[in-house]
Amino acid sequence: MSRVLAELERYMRAREVVATFLLTVLFLFLSFVLYARESTTELMYFNRVYNIRILYYGVPLGMIGVLMPIGLDQVVAVVNSGEGTFRILWGQLFLDFVLYFLLALFIVYAFVKLKPDRVLASSISEWSAATRLSLAAI
C-alpha cells in the first residue's frame, strides 16, 4: 500500500489533483443528469399505507430521490412526513463520490504516466514525414 501511495505522490501535482476533482464532479453531474429509475416506496400516515412513486437519480447508486405523489391524500401524507418530496440519500452520494473519484484518479494517473503529449507529438511528426514522402513521390 505504501508503494502505491509513493507512486501516486510521485506523479500527482496540484494540477493533477484539481483535474481529478473536476473529473469527479463531471462524472457525478453526468450520472445525475443522464440516468433516472422509477420505483415505488411505502409511506405510512395515520395508520394508512400509501404507495408513492419515487424517481432515483444517479448511477450506480440512486443518490437523489424525488417523491411524486398522485392525489391529494398522497400529497398530504408526503408533506406531513416531515422529509418533503426531494431527498438526498447521503450514503449513496458518498459511495458514488468515492467510486467516481477513484475512476478519475485512475484516468489522470494513466494520462500522466503515459505522457500522451510525447506520443501525440511523435505520431504527428511521423505523419508529417510520411505526408512529405508521399508528396515528394508525386
- Distance CA(18)–CA(16), nearest Å, equals 5
pLDDT digits (tens, 9 = 90+) for 34-43: 888 888 888 8
Q: In which residue ranges of the chain is pLDDT below 70?
A: 1, 4-5, 7-11, 115-138
Q: Please give the C-alpha separations between residue 85 and each of 32, 66, 122, in angstroms, as whole numbers.
A: 17, 6, 56
40-65 as b/e: b if 16+ CB within 10 A:
eeebeeeeeebebebebbbbeebbbb
Instruction: Name residue 41's amino acid.
Output: T
CB under 8 A, 24+ apart: contacts of 3-9: 8/105, 8/109
Q: What is the pLDDT of residue 103?
A: 93
| pLDDT (0 to 100) of residue 11 | 65
Structural domains in the chain (count): 1
**Percent of the chain clearing pLDDT 70 (strictly above):** 76
Q: What is the model's pTM?
A: 0.68
What does the block give as the cell for 105?
Answer: 484518479
Contacts of 99 (CB under 8 A, 6+ apart): 60
User: Range of 92's domain?
Assistant: 2-137
Q: Are 25 and 39 in contact (CB under 8 A)?
A: no
What is the structure's pLDDT at 99?
A: 94
